[in-house]
Structure 1
Amino acid sequence: MMLYRNIALAAASLMLGAASCETMSQNKGNDNSPVRDVAIEAPAGQATAAFAEGCFWCTEEIFEAVVGVDSVISGYAGGHTNNPTYDLVNTETTGHAETVLVYYDPAKVNYEELVKIFYLSHDPTTLNQQGPDRGTSYRSILFYQTPEEKATAERLTAEMNKDRFNGKITTELKSLDKFYRAEGYHQDYIEHNPGSSYVQNVSLPRFRKFKAAYGGALKEGV
């Protein structure tokens, strides 16, 4: 099954002129830094939120551009296996999805705005797929941590489903229990690999599409 999926991804990549997030990672140098269980609780003056919307390279770049976001970590969430690695997650057996953990200043941007950004920055109607990346590890998940966030997520999902996505949203709404930081070479991937075919043909076009759709405040120079 894994071989079949890699062949399908490679075929899709040729059509797009870019490799998938998975195959590009396999061609990147090895960074064996351990995958760590990251504390979800935010430092004083900050809050955290987690989103899964396809390849975390793209997602990290998008949320880092938002005014009020302090930092973003790429990792894995939503699964049932402890201490997942990238290779294990890509077997589609751990239940995890590529996810970003967003640290933000709630005085400058709130959870509701981040949920709107989530829906404007990917296609939530393509089940287990974003662009050339296919599999449950690329599925759309909107995480919440409190009853208030759950209510906000449910309300905005219903509104977006009605007003923008014609009732076709496949996004999961899920409580955030654990978040695992991905291997070091995944962090700030676009910054360190601006010339890669995936970044040029998938990540940056997706970022430009988000900027065109989003009317909120973005950091200067993005």
Structure 2
Amino acid sequence: MKYTQVVFLALTLLMVTSCKSNTKQNSTADSKAVAQESAPEVIKLSPQELGTYETAYFASGCFWCVEAIFESVRGVKEAVSGYAGGIEDNPNYKIIGNGITRHAEAIEVYYDPEIISFTELVQVFFGSHDPTTLNQQGPDRGSQYRSIAFYKNEKEKNIIEGYIQVAREMDIYEGNPITTEVTKFEKFWKAEEYHQDYERKNPNNAYVRNVSVPRLNRFKENFGDFLKKDAH
């Protein structure tokens, strides 16, 4: 494990705060669906273009927040909000929120490995949430908000587990156990369209203002070297 990786683990502590907003409602999708103002146009890559990049999968709380964080990272071409970690087919936001499935809100990250490595994406993952709060991130509570790092092969599994081991040995989280699940990736289900790029499209939404944007800004403050030039 490189020294710089250890430093970024330590920086995680600076970012762990308790969000005080309770404006995100878990019971209905409607509370998430109101656009406050038009978002600037963003050019999206086609499925064929995205297919030329590597993928990684993470869950660490509300996917609005997580998607925005990863899309600010250099080498990431796109992050997609969705569901993963369960065994049920065709999950949707309503049944996820009601705890009917074991899926969590997750993201699919398309990235260029020549610009950013999987190890660095794992650093982003741990550095942008609190992996010691079981089934919770900030004001959001429930198994759908649990922390999961998915792996597609043994190399990725070893990177994730190695990172966790170093954090434990250094007592980065001051005795608080890491609750992150290290799970073999099976299936990703894309979330409803109104969830995609939600933070960018709904800047005046109360949850976005009080929870999502502050979380993104904390990440940017501590991981400036990871950001795209236009994300500072």
**Is 2:213 aligned against 1:209?**
no
SS class of match (2:229): coil
Equivalent residue number for residue 78 of structure 1: 85
Query: Unaligned 5+ residue runs, structure 1?
Result: 1-14, 31-38
**Is 2:167 aligned against 1:160?**
yes
SS class of match (1:116): helix
Letter in 2 for 1:216: D
Equivalent residue number for residue 186 of structure 2: 177
Equivalent residue number for residue 106 of structure 2: 99
Post-superposition offset of 1:29 = 4.1
**Deviation string for 1:74-119 (max 9, x for gaps)?**
0000001111111011121310000000000000001000001000
Post-superposition offset of 1:157 = 1.3
CA contact (8 A) 1:18 1:197 kept: no
Q: How much identity, in percent, do the aligned residues show?
A: 46
Post-superposition offset of 1:70 = 0.3
**Is 2:21 aligned against 1:22?**
no
Matched residue count: 197
In 2 relative to 1, CA 21–103 (structure 1 residues): closer, same or farther, beyond 3 Å? farther
Provide runs of 4+ in structure 1 moved above 4 Å: none
Distance in 1, matches of 2:130 and 2:28, equals 21
Letter in 1 for 2:223: Y
Distance in 1, matches of 2:218 and 2:99, equals 28
RMSD, aligned CA: 1.9
CA contact (8 A) 1:50 1:142 kept: yes
Distance in 1, matches of 2:148 and 2:139, equals 18
**Is 2:144 aligned against 1:137?**
yes
Letter in 2 for 1:176: F
SS class of match (1:221): helix
After the TM superposition, which of the residue ranges 82-91 and 58-67 deviates more from structure 2? 82-91
**Is 2:116 aligned against 1:109?**
yes
Letter in 2 for 1:186: H
Post-superposition offset of 1:16 = 2.8
SS class of match (1:216): helix
User: What TM-score, normalized by structure 2, do the two folds share?
Assistant: 0.80
CA contact (8 A) 1:18 1:201 kept: no
SS class of match (2:129): coil
**Deviation string for 1:55-84 (max 9, x for gaps)?**
000000000000000001000000011111
**Is 2:75 aligned against 1:68?**
yes
Equivalent residue number for residue 190 of structure 1: 199
CA contact (8 A) 2:65 2:212 kept: yes
SS class of match (2:78): strand
In 2 relative to 1, CA 86–197 (structure 1 residues): closer, same or farther, beyond 3 Å? same
Distance in 2, matches of 1:88 and 1:22, equals 10
Post-superposition offset of 1:221 = 2.7
Post-superposition offset of 1:162 = 3.4
Distance in 2, matches of 1:23 and 1:16, equals 19
